[in-house]
Amino acid sequence: MMFTGKHVLLIITGGIAAYKMPQLVRLFIKQGAQVKVVITENAKNFVTVKTLATVSQDVVYDDHYISENVAELTHLDLPMWADFVVIAPATADIIAKLANGFADNLATTLVLACNKPVYIFPAMNDVMYAQHVTQRNLYSLNESGLTVFSPETGPLAEGYSGKGRLPEPATIIETVYAAFYRYSHPQVLQGKKFIVTAGGTREAIDPVRFIGNRSSGKMGYELARAASLLGANVTLITTQPNFPKGDLKVVTVTTAEQLQAAVEVRYAEVDAVVMAAAPADFRVATPADQKIKKVDGEDELKLTLIKNPDILASLGKKKKQQFLAGFAAETQDLEANAQKKLKHKHLNMIIANNVGGAQGGFDSDENAGKIIFKDGTVKTIAMTSKAEMALTIMTTISERL
């Protein structure tokens, strides 16, 4: 889970997007966090205290709470309790107050009294957001060490599209996770450029059919995300683009030949390539221009397959400064087959995983395997989430870069 044992202090201010915040609270809790909610008086026009108290399983802290509990130092206790503070939605009003050091209610006072990371998600009308004064205030908050995220461009409450929309709760969770991870872990891949490939390729038979494989792209996605969390600049080349992008540069491809072209055009300038994609070994020699029809009396359809380029081997041949890592998805003789591939393709490292068993491998959220290096060192990774496995692999690579 992304936030196991973490204390999240969520400040909700008076923007229309406040209605989405019970969902955000639930997502934080689902990911293992404890959440305390602070609400401004104006935010109560957009979301109920009762809902927030129910989903956070706690009282909701507001200006009345301070006057009713005079013996407590709520504005100091809350930031002390928190691992980090999220302000979502952050109104133009609270942004202006914080940028100028105001402390005239519980929300503003506790932020001024806080030395933990503060993550601000502005959300407002596009004109309000674009105003020089709002931009100046946001700049000033950034300068003061608070983290300001850009709102999204999309449909606004006003009924038209513009820049000022609060990201969806799932995106906020991912954004906060990445920011807090980077804050609390050494950035061992800082300044390094990575290419990570992901997913199974699709080789056309005709305009509607293809030859594919069971690779879901999840392992590759987690590897790209892990490298990015550890500070790398990552391009993810994938056949499966439907994962949260975060800071990744995502290039979408379909076939093995497209995958190869996308990697090779970027290869010269990167420090490492991790090939977790499952490119097809063969493709149809001449895909049909039109949908292939059944023909009465013909019980067979013959397809001629030709060999696809061996992308890893070709990268191995051209290797200069690049650290090259591959995957060996095997159903038998795991380590021996992986060792052979490592050598033949001039890799620095290979991750061998068994895809024949009931658990792990393709389509699964979990995986296990062995990391094998050129010098013969073997590191075993026991069954764990693909996210954890990816962090272990990327940390191991960082020690060799």
Please give the residue ranges that form the binding site for ligand FMN (CB under 6 A): 13-17, 40, 42-43, 91-94, 123-124, 128
Residue 213 known to be catalytic: yes
Specify the length of the chain in residues: 401
**Tell me, what DSSP letter sits at residue 200?**
B
CB 87 within 8 A of CB 118: yes
CB of 40 to ligand FMN, least distance (A): 3
Q: Angle between the 21-30 and 49-56 helix axes, to the nearest 10 degrees? A: 0
Q: CB nearer to ligand FMN: give 124 or 263.
A: 124
* DSSP class of 104: -
CA distance 207 to 252: 19
Q: What is the closest distance, in whole angstroms, from the C-beta atom of residue 44 to ligand FMN in the complex? A: 9
Which C-beta is closer to ligand FMN: that of 92 or that of 189?
A: 92
The nearest distance, CB 124 to ligand FMN, in angstroms, is: 3
Nearer to ligand FMN, 40 or 398 (CB): 40
Q: What is the DSSP letter of 91?
A: P
Minimum separation from the CB atom of position 204 to ligand FMN (A) = 47
CB closer to ligand FMN out of 128 and 368: 128
Burial of 257 (0-12, 13-18, 19+ CB in 10 A): middle
* Comparison of 106 and 328: residue with beta carbon closer to ligand FMN: 106
Tell me which H or E stretch contains 219. Answer: helix 218-229
Closest to 324 (Cα-Cα) out of 196, 231, 189:
196
What is the amino acid identity at position 99? Answer: A
Complex with ligand FMN: residue 16 or 275, whichever CB lies closer: 16
Q: Which is nearer to ligand FMN, 107 or 189 (CB)?
A: 107
DSSP-assigned states of every residue in 227-276: HHHTT-EEEEEES---S--TT-EEEE--SHHHHHHHHHHHHTT-SEEEE-
- The answer to whether the beta carbons of residues 39 and 61 sit under 8 Å apart is yes
Q: Shortest approach of ligand FMN to residue 97 CB, angstroms?
A: 7
For the chain, the distance separating the N- and C-terminal CA atoms, rounded to the nearest angstrom, is 29
- Dist. CA 166–CA 169, nearest whole Å: 9
Cα diameter, the chain:
90
How many alpha carbons fall within 13 Å on the CB side of residue 74?
A: 22
Q: How far is the CB of 27 from ligand FMN (least distance, A)?
A: 21
Task: Tell me the closest approach of the beta carbon of residue 99 to ligand FMN, in angstroms.
Answer: 13
3 state SS of 52:
helix
Catalytic residue among 42, 213, 233, 337: 213
Cα–chain center distance at 152: 17
Structure tokens at 205: 């038979």
- Annotated catalytic residues are 213
